[in-house]
Structure 1
Amino acid sequence: MKVYTKTGDKGTTSLYGGVKVSKNHIRIDAYGTVDELNSAIGLIRSSEIKSDSKNQLIQIQKNLFHVGAELATPPEKLFLANGKSRLPKLIEEADIEELEIWIDRMEEELPPLMHFILPGGNLASSHTHLCRCICRRGERITVALREVEETREEILKYLNRLSDYLFVLARKIAQDAGHEEIKWLPNE
């Protein structure tokens, strides 16, 4: 199978189910941003971080493929007549709860957050902060999509919780590398 198909040469692409839309359609922007996030998470995973964090990031990347697939599917094409999803997996509450468990475990090892902190630390924690920002953008675009087309709430919840996870992971990676957090104080 060839990588190029030439079907998008005129600025359109097909969603799952064959519906053609412009490449600047908000649905394309939503799943494109999720794809960007997935690639950026690969940068974190290629860093020297703990193996449990790498394993969590692999699961998150797999879930982001499911999120992207769902965002690439028009709502009328998501479910079969019998109510079953056309896609192999949809994000569920259990996926959101898994993120919460991972966040809680990391926070047990971190000092309480009393101030805003400057994004940074080492390269891996900085990449993680950048992923958090990409995730927030994906969430904003998905909210905008939801205002014009039906989108399952679990997608938004997952992206929201994932940005929390990435923030805490950035702190944990910095701490594990021995970097002190730099507080942002509004009077400085």
Structure 2
Amino acid sequence: MVVLNKIYTRTGDAGDTALGNGDRVAKHSARVAAYGTSDELNCTLGVARLHAEGELDTALSRIQNDLFDLGADLCRPDMEQDAEAEYPPLRVIDGQVSRLETEIDAMNAGLTPLRSFILPGGTALAAHLHICRTVARRAERLAVELAAAEAVNPAAVKYLNRLSDWFFVAARVANNGGQDDVLWVPGANR
């Protein structure tokens, strides 16, 4: 259980922050950039949810919770020491990735196949989900960059990769099942 009695601690005033294992790193480190961007994505998703209803809102709520799991995973670098940790570290698991794949397949089954690229837009929810998609791609790039230098849970990277696909398909669903998709017309304004 997390207890936050005091919001400011002054411990980061010199430009460093604590990771989940207690190590201190610069606030501009690759690890902080990766989990910070997953937090940004969660906030962006919160705005998207202002336009969501029903099953789609329920799924977005699940993803918001997963993004906190992802942030907890990315902020703890010592995966090889997980077994010795005082409490079991929270890690994204392959089952979370599989759930996204199942949901993508289910949503996509009701959509007409694309014959063009889609411009971000259509309904308000679809436009916000496209923003979520691009922030998820950035979070993925940062996680991959981090993984090139330090240990990163492979399931966390896979989750971000699937999540951007999930947002793309969900944006089509939010565009009245793809009927309000805004299609790219190559060279239309030459």
Normalising by the residue count of structure 1, what TM-score does the alignment of the two structures yield? Answer: 0.91
TM alignment of 1:88-107, pairs within 5 A:
89-107=90-108
Q: Is the 8 A contact 1:139 1:160 kept in 2?
A: yes
Q: Is the 8 A contact 1:75 1:149 kept in 2?
A: no
In structure 2, the residue matched to 1:40 is 44
What is the CA distance between 1:81 and its match in structure 2?
3.2
What is the CA distance between 1:78 and its match in structure 2?
5.2
Identity %: 39
1:149 counterpart letter in structure 2: E
2:88 aligned to which of 66, 76, 86: 86
Q: Is the 8 A contact 1:77 1:86 kept in 2?
A: no
- Following superposition, which runs of at least 4 residues in structure 1 exceed 3 angstroms of deviation? none
Match of 2:104, SS?
Answer: helix
Match of 2:9, SS?
Answer: coil
Gaps of 5+ in 2: none
1:63 counterpart letter in structure 2: D
What is the CA distance between 1:97 and its match in structure 2?
1.1
What is the CA distance between 1:86 and its match in structure 2?
2.5
Gaps of 5+ in 1: none
What is the CA distance between 1:185 and its match in structure 2?
2.9
**d(CA) in 2 for partners of 1:77, 1:5:** 29
Q: Is the 8 A contact 1:122 1:179 kept in 2?
A: no
Deviation by residue 1:48-103 (Cα, 9 ceiling, x = unmatched): x3311111111111111111001101225750239x9732x422221111111111
2:31 aligned to which of 11, 27, 30: 27
**d(CA) in 2 for partners of 1:100, 1:65:** 19
In structure 2, the residue matched to 1:8 is 12
**d(CA) in 2 for partners of 1:51, 1:5:** 39
TM alignment of 1:36-185, pairs within 5 A:
36-47=40-51, 49-75=52-78, 79-81=82-84, 86-87=88-89, 89-175=90-176, 180-185=180-185
Deviation by residue 1:158-188 (Cα, 9 ceiling, x = unmatched): 0000000000001110115x86222213232
Deviation by residue 1:138-170 (Cα, 9 ceiling, x = unmatched): 000000000000112111110000000000001
Match of 2:21, SS?
Answer: coil
Q: Is the 8 A contact 2:111 2:173 kept in 1?
A: yes
What number of residue pairs does the alignment pair up?
Answer: 184
**d(CA) in 2 for partners of 1:67, 1:101:** 19
2:20 counterpart letter in structure 1: Y
1:13 counterpart letter in structure 2: T
Match of 1:21, SS?
Answer: strand
What is the CA distance between 1:28 and its match in structure 2?
0.3
